[in-house]
Amino acid sequence: MYSPHTVQQLTERLEKPIVLVGLMGVGKSTVGRRLARRLDLPFVDSDSAIEDAAGFTAAEVFEKYGEKDFRDGERRLVARLVEGRVGVIATGGGAFVDPRTRELLNARAITIWLDASIDVLSERTARRDTRPLLRNADPRGTLKRLADERRPSYAEAHIHIRSGSGGHSEVVEAIIVALDQHLRQ
What CATH number did the domain enclosing 144 receive? Answer: 3.40.50.300
- Predicted confidence at residue 132, as pLDDT, reads 54
Instruction: Kindly state the percentage of the chain with pLDDT values over 70.
Output: 92
**For residues 47 and 75, is the Cβ–Cβ distance under 8 A?**
no
Phi–psi pair at 114, nearest 5 degrees = -90, 125
Handedness of CA 74, 76, 79, 80 (dihedral sign): negative
pTM across the whole model = 0.89
pLDDT band at 128 (very low <50, low <70, confident <90, very high): low
- Residue 140 CA to residue 158 CA, distance in Å, equals 27
Residues 118, 145, 24: CA angle, nearest 5 degrees = 55
Alpha-carbon separation of residue 49 from 1, 54, 76, 139 (angstroms): 32, 9, 11, 26
Average pLDDT for residues 85-100, to the nearest whole number?
91
The predicted-structure confidence for 163-180, as pLDDT tens digits, reads as follows 876 788 899 999 999 999
Cβ-in-10-Å burial (0-12, 13-18, 19+) of 152 comes to exposed
Q: Is the pLDDT of residue 185 over 90?
A: no
Is pLDDT above 80 for 124? no
Q: How many domains does the chain have?
A: 1
Q: Residue 124 is part of which domain span?
A: 4-184
